[in-house]
Structure 1
Amino acid sequence: MSPTRNRTDEQLIVSIPADVDQPDKILYGLTTRQLAILAGTAAVCLWVFLTLGPLVPFSVLVALLVPVLAVGFVLAVARHDGMTLDRYALAALRHLRAPKERVTAGESVQPPPAWCRMRGRLPEPLRLPVRAVRQDGALELASGGVAVIVSAGTLTFGLRTPGEQAGLVAVFGRWLNSLDAPVQILVQARPIDLTGLADHITQHAPALPDPALEQAARGHAAFVTELGAAHDLLIRHVLVVITGHIPASAPASVLPWRQRERRRVGRDSAAAVALRRAAEAVQNLAALAVPAAVLDGEGATTVLTESLSPGDLHLVDGTSPNDVITHRQEA
């Protein structure tokens, strides 16, 4: 490998601070949770050994203790999709116990009358994570926070020169280092319909000053139509969700109307902070030549509505020149 290649690879590396939410390693690279699981497993095995040791043969005792040790070790050390196996098992258990059918209801679903015979469990009320959508685009979350959605475009990173790529990585790294609140980046691949683009070109083709240009425009419209009919085209849809924290609620001794006023002021201040962070994110993405915009209330409602029906096709009628369109390849 040439020295130039090594220098280029070094330029594309940006140091990002470590995740401060990661649990601390206490002993031999193990966290407190892992040590507690191993200690509990050892205590159970010791109790079984002391209790059953004088009563059963040693081979039977080993056959009983080896699976217990293996399960405890796997729960403490193994990981699945970045999650420790004990947390994954608890999440799977909660998912199995949780109701699978939910309906729009106020507080709770009323049971049927005594004469009605029901099979299965009652459905649970549907609790959406978003409680309200403000006109400025801020989402009031059911958990008590505020979120703002930024719609971003994409750029052709592979077609840039090594120096341009290093600059883009450095700018993106500086933006990540400047974040002081949780940010979620969601990348979706959505189908796109080029029929509207082809119709637009066909309608404006007669207004071109030269017949050759008109013929070329009609040929391009025919090519776009054939391309959309022959392939499943995808467009990347990037969403950046920026959150804001609402201050703690007032103590119970405060009068009720004062509590409502404080909650309203807290939501407004959290929304203002989230919108300011969203505007800063748009500016930082603009430095990367990535088009971005903060979604208002209507745009945020559209995104939430489409997210509630992921199986439906939401075809796009057209695309901007900066958007990247790819071809879906069947497995």
Structure 2
Amino acid sequence: MNDIVRIPADVEAPDKIIGGFTARQIIIFGGTGVLLYGGYLLLADHVPPLALAVFAVPIAVAGIVLAIGRHDGISLDRYVLAALRHRRAAKHMTRSAAPAPPTWIAARPGPSPSPLRLPARGVTEHGLIDLGPDGVAAVAEVSTVNFALRTAEEQDALVSAFARWLNALSGQVQVLVRAERIDLSAAIADLRNSAPALPHPALSHAAAEHAAFLTDLSARHDLLRRQVLLIVREPAAGPHGSTALRRLDEAARVLSAGGLVVRPLPATAVHALLTSCFDPTAPPLPDGDDVIGGSR
């Protein structure tokens, strides 16, 4: 008899330690209590109890809110720390050091731009992303299958193939699902150019109507396509670059049993991918444009 084991959707949820509270919440509660108790010991002989309560209540409320509050799925203490880091971080960054302003400018200068440090140092000729001291990363595009339309036996085979790949992992991987805009201008132009050459007038009319439909669809909607990427990372440079590519080959071999096609991205495709991540609204680069230089 098979037992059904329920796995929570949020597998990274922190464990509850005492009374349904996590370790982080208990630390916040404890720190707030220690702060209030220490203040009471220091001020009890010098400040009336009512004045102590006036100062203690806001501190206690702030500690409780920080411990149990959440904002956009993030605990409030993490959110506050992120806000403080953002407040202190540089807001203007440049690729190179900005020159000093001329001495004749009378206006009070603002903060100087900080250097922009990107995690990617370059892209090799084999399509590997050079992460500097963090190693290298190899990227592959993975096809998809419609799981819901498969039979129970086929679904079991798909799950088994994916489980075999997970059990065979020997390093860090990331499965990234991203959406990108589709440009139908080339397809529309091809339809319009080839419509007059079709062997039958009805086919030419259908091609022209389909081109008009695609034109109207592109004008009224933001057309998106889903892209699934598989990224493997090796912690160091040198021979580990070939290790990353070999791990992609192993993933392609194992996942092919589930009908998935794993296609490693060449250097030009990796360039275009990184560019679209920085500026999704920018038009695609022509072939051969070097966005991030570097080779190994």
TM-score category, normalised to shorter length: 0.7 to 0.9
- The equivalences for 1:57-76 within 5 A come to 57-76=48-67
In the TM superposition, residue 53 of structure 1 has moved relative to its aligned partner by 2.4
Partner of 1:250: none
Q: Which runs of 5+ in 1 are unaligned?
A: 1-6, 247-266, 316-331
In structure 1, how many angstroms separate the alpha carbons of the residues matched to 2:128 and 2:75? 34
Q: Secondary structure at the match of 1:128?
A: coil
2:110 partner letter? G
In the TM superposition, residue 100 of structure 1 has moved relative to its aligned partner by 0.7
Partner of 1:192: 182
Q: Does 1:121 align with 2:91?
A: no
In structure 2, how many angstroms separate the alpha carbons of the residues matched to 1:80 and 1:244? 34
In structure 2, how many angstroms separate the alpha carbons of the residues matched to 1:115 and 1:195? 51
User: Kindly tell me: are residues 277 and 78 of structure 1, through their superposed partners in 2, closer, same or farther at Cα, counting changes over 3 Å?
Assistant: farther
1:228 partner letter? S
Partner of 1:273: 243
- The equivalences for 1:1-331 within 5 A come to 27-28=18-19, 30=21, 32-81=23-72, 83-105=74-96, 108-117=97-106, 118-204=108-194, 216-246=206-236, 267-312=237-282, 314=284
- The Cα offsets for residues 19-65 of structure 1, whole Å up to 9 and x where unpaired, read as 6xx77765555555444333222111001112222333333322322
User: Kindly tell me: are residues 151 and 14 of structure 1, through their superposed partners in 2, closer, same or farther at Cα, counting changes over 3 Å?
Assistant: farther
User: Kindly tell me: are residues 227 and 42 of structure 1, through their superposed partners in 2, closer, same or farther at Cα, counting changes over 3 Å?
Assistant: closer
In structure 1, how many angstroms separate the alpha carbons of the residues matched to 2:253 and 2:14? 34
Partner of 1:253: none
Q: Is the 8 A contact 2:180 2:280 kept in 1?
A: no
1:46 partner letter? Y
User: Kindly tell me: are residues 95 and 177 of structure 1, through their superposed partners in 2, closer, same or farther at Cα, counting changes over 3 Å?
Assistant: farther
Q: Secondary structure at the match of 2:90?
A: coil
Partner of 1:260: none
Q: Is the 8 A contact 1:103 1:124 kept in 2?
A: yes
Alignment RMSD: 3.6
In the TM superposition, residue 301 of structure 1 has moved relative to its aligned partner by 1.1
User: Kindly tell me: are residues 68 and 310 of structure 1, through their superposed partners in 2, closer, same or farther at Cα, counting changes over 3 Å?
Assistant: same
- The Cα offsets for residues 158-178 of structure 1, whole Å up to 9 and x where unpaired, read as 444455445434433443444
In the TM superposition, residue 281 of structure 1 has moved relative to its aligned partner by 3.0
1:193 partner letter? D
Q: Is the 8 A contact 1:14 1:170 kept in 2?
A: no
In the TM superposition, residue 123 of structure 1 has moved relative to its aligned partner by 0.3
In structure 1, how many angstroms separate the alpha carbons of the residues matched to 2:15 and 2:222? 47
User: Kindly tell me: are residues 63 and 15 of structure 1, through their superposed partners in 2, closer, same or farther at Cα, counting changes over 3 Å?
Assistant: closer
Partner of 1:328: none
In structure 2, how many angstroms separate the alpha carbons of the residues matched to 1:243 and 1:47? 49
In structure 2, how many angstroms separate the alpha carbons of the residues matched to 1:157 and 1:202? 36
Q: Secondary structure at the match of 2:256?
A: helix
In structure 2, how many angstroms separate the alpha carbons of the residues matched to 1:282 and 1:215? 43
Q: Structure 1 stretch 149-158 or stretch 94-103: which is displaced more? A: 149-158
Question: TM-score scaled by structure 1?
Answer: 0.70
- The percentage of aligned residue pairs carrying the same residue is 41
Q: Is the 8 A contact 1:191 1:314 kept in 2?
A: no
User: Kindly tell me: are residues 126 and 86 of structure 1, through their superposed partners in 2, closer, same or farther at Cα, counting changes over 3 Å?
Assistant: same
In structure 2, how many angstroms separate the alpha carbons of the residues matched to 1:71 and 1:14? 34
